[in-house]
Amino acid sequence: MLAVLTRFSDRAEAGRRLGEALAERVHGDLVVYAIPRGGAPVALEVARALGAPLDLALVRRIGAPRNPEVALAAVIDGRHPRTIINEDVARMTGATASYLEGERVSALAEIERRRRLYFRDHERLDPEGRVAVLVDDGLATGATARAAIGGLRAQGARRIVLAVPVAPRALAATLRHEVDDMVCLLEPEPFRSVGDAYGDFHQVDDAEVIACLDASRA
């Protein structure tokens, strides 16, 4: 059935299909990490399918000067926060070191806000020595996913499995060399946007992320 799949009705369906594909491929001590906000409802269904706990990879994308939709860099939370820079975009847009540093500080402040809001008094899950299944609702440039992958490796994850419903074919081929395993259900060519793969691609808000975390704990 996946061979003829061209679209998902919503993020929940995408997560269920990812869960089906992952169930045969990942085993052991698992933690599912969602890239919020859009990855949270996808990852909730993956966590349910795998019988694994759900956590978040708190990542913030940094947009290019005068063109914020273009991913210049990404920052991920952790014991030692990491910044992954898209050097090609930096050269093309003329992003300065001072611009990057200012945006990095803002990104870390937003990550801290989300950490307090999303987790409240709940303990974070430690990926050290475990299989980390990293989930988003789709990839366009891969900058955010790369930051999350680097952060999970720095925190000692034993294996990293990247699981996304949709990504450009060339990007998926590249990322497969950067993780231990990868599942991508749709690799459209030409690729226009992640939202094209969904019937319902509404903006996920903080309340929905919190609801996903609460549902996984229940």
Radius of gyration of the chain (CA): 16
CA dist., res. 201 & res. 214, Å (int): 22
pLDDT at position 98 is 95
Tokens of 213: 């975390």
The CA dihedral of 147, 193, 203, 16, to the nearest 10 degrees, is -80
Find the distance separating the first CA and the last CA of the chain, reported in whole Å. Answer: 31
11-23 vs 39-50: helix axis angle to the nearest 10? 40
Q: What topology does CATH give the domain 2-57+123-217?
A: Rossmann fold (3.40.50)
Q: Are strands 59-64 and 181-186 parallel, antiparallel or unpaired?
A: unpaired
pTM for this predicted structure: 0.88
pLDDT at position 2 is 40
pLDDT tens series, the chain, 218 aa: 344 567 999 999 999 999 999 998 999 999 999 999 999 999 999 999 999 999 999 988 899 998 887 888 888 887 677 788 888 889 999 999 999 999 999 999 999 999 999 998 888 899 999 999 999 999 998 888 988 998 898 889 999 999 999 999 999 999 999 999 999 999 999 999 999 999 999 999 999 999 999 999 98
Q: What residue segments make up the domains of the chain, in order of their start?
A: 2-57+123-217
C-beta separation of 139 from 145 below 8 A:
yes
pLDDT at position 187 is 96
| pLDDT tens digits, one per residue of 124-170 | 899 999 999 999 999 998 888 988 998 898 889 999 999 999 999 99
* Region for 129 from its dihedrals, namely left if φ exceeds 0, alpha if ψ lies in -120 to 50, beta otherwise: left
pLDDT at position 150 is 86
Tokens of 82: 């990491």
